[in-house]
């Protein structure tokens, strides 16, 4: 699955789960290293770098994800809907909606 297809499926999943989200790449707010999607789900900040399966973040992207995590966000490299579903389910569980 190409990165664009992953991004599209991730956006649909975020919308279906009630998250607010913004795609940074290609939206005029792009800057090297900034995660592709910034989102808020159930009061939790998400910084998501989207990659095609088998691809990994650049050194700068990994550094930015680590900084977002250090500041309290859930930061992750997402390669398919299953990755994000696990993260959202964990947030639901933490909040108490299992």
Residue 98 has pLDDT above 60, yes or no: no
| Among candidate residues 51, 52, 23, the one with its CA nearest the CA of residue 39 | 23
pLDDT score, position 30? 54
Closest CA relative to residue 51, chosen from 29, 73, 21, 84: 84
Q: Where are the domains of the chain?
A: 3-95
CATH class of 3-95: alpha beta
DSSP bridge partners of 40: 20, 45
Rounded Cα gap, residues 80 and 6, in angstroms: 6
pTM over 0.85: yes
- Residue range 50-75: average pLDDT? 95
At residue 55's C-alpha, the angle toward residues 49 and 59, to 5°, is 60
Give residue-wise pLDDT tens across range 18-41.
999 999 865 555 578 899 999 999
Q: Phi first, then psi: give them for residue 59, nearest 5 degrees.
A: -60, -45
In this prediction, residues 2-18 reach a mean pLDDT of: 91
């Amino acid at each position: 699955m190409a990165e664009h297809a992953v991004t599209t499926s991730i956006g649909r999943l975020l919308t279906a789960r009630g998250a607010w989200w913004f795609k940074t790449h290609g939206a005029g707010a792009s800057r090297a290293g900034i995660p592709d999607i910034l989102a808020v789900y159930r009061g939790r900040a998400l910084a998501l770098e989207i990659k095609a399966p088998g691809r990994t973040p650049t050194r700068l992207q990994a550094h930015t994800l680590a900084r977002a995590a250090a500041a309290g966000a859930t930061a992750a490299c997402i390669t398919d809907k299953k990755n994000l579903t696990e993260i959202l389910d964990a947030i639901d569980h933490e909040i108490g909606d299992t």
